Structure 1
Amino acid sequence: MTVSYFALYRTPEDPADFEAHYFGSHVPLIEKTPGLLENKVHRVTRQFVGEPAYFLLAELVFESAEAMKAAFRTPEWAAGGKDLAAWGGMELVTMFSAEPHPAAQAT
């Protein structure tokens, strides 16, 4: 069963600058992570309820929880984290992992 790692970014003060760093340096580093099956990045176009305001959602898909844990121990993953911290992205992000819920798969 696949597992996903999500990075949910709050709206930055300068969205254009954020995207320049995010897509210019961070995404290329993350996509080198061994075991990463897919990197889905979504721009939040409208937030209906809730706080704070969100800007981007990244879903990194791995084959399994074990594959994800192994990826977290690689130099490529570490490089992505250092890059994110270097330009302030860590101040905007909430990160978590999730897997498909069995009840949702029954339909």
Structure 2
Amino acid sequence: MVKMVVLYKQPENSELFDEKYFGEHLELNAMTPGIVRSEISRFFDLRGGQTEYYVMAEVYFADRDALLFALKSPESKAAGAQLQSFASGLATFHFAEVIEA
């Protein structure tokens, strides 16, 4: 299994980000073929401050081929374009193999 990890920096307008991300993007992204499961996390600071990152998305695929197929799909491209419309410059993408411990 592999996963795509997307880290989102703190947006200037968190209400707008939440509206677009949770209200539109996740639904659009869920249409991408090959997704096994997704997990979304919101960061917090135990000291009460602001963290560098706002949200993390972990999107799981069966293997690298499934991930590559998904990223080339029209559904993924539509989700990427929608993401750029409100979160340009906020996201960094990382890819990893899941190691079962």
Give the TM-score taking structure 1 as reference length.
0.84
Letter aligned with residue 24 of structure 2: S
Residue of structure 2 in register with 1:67 after alignment: 66
**Corresponding residue to 2:90 among 85, 89, 92:** 92
Percent of residue pairs identical: 31
Distance 1:47 1:31, change over 3 A: farther
Residue 47 of structure 1 deviates from its aligned partner by 7.2
Unaligned stretches of 5+ in structure 1? none
Q: Equivalents in 2 of 1:66, 1:8: separation in Å?
A: 22
Q: Equivalents in 2 of 1:90, 1:3: separation in Å?
A: 25
Q: What SS class does the counterpart of residue 88 from structure 2 fall into?
A: helix
CA-atom RMSD in angstroms: 1.7
Residue of structure 2 in register with 1:28 after alignment: 27
Unaligned stretches of 5+ in structure 2? none
Q: Equivalents in 2 of 1:61, 1:3: separation in Å?
A: 6
Residue of structure 2 in register with 1:80 after alignment: 79
Size of the aligned set, in residue pairs, is: 98
Report if the CA contact (8 A) 1:47-1:54 is conserved: no
Report if the CA contact (8 A) 1:12-1:92 is conserved: yes
Letter aligned with residue 88 of structure 2: M
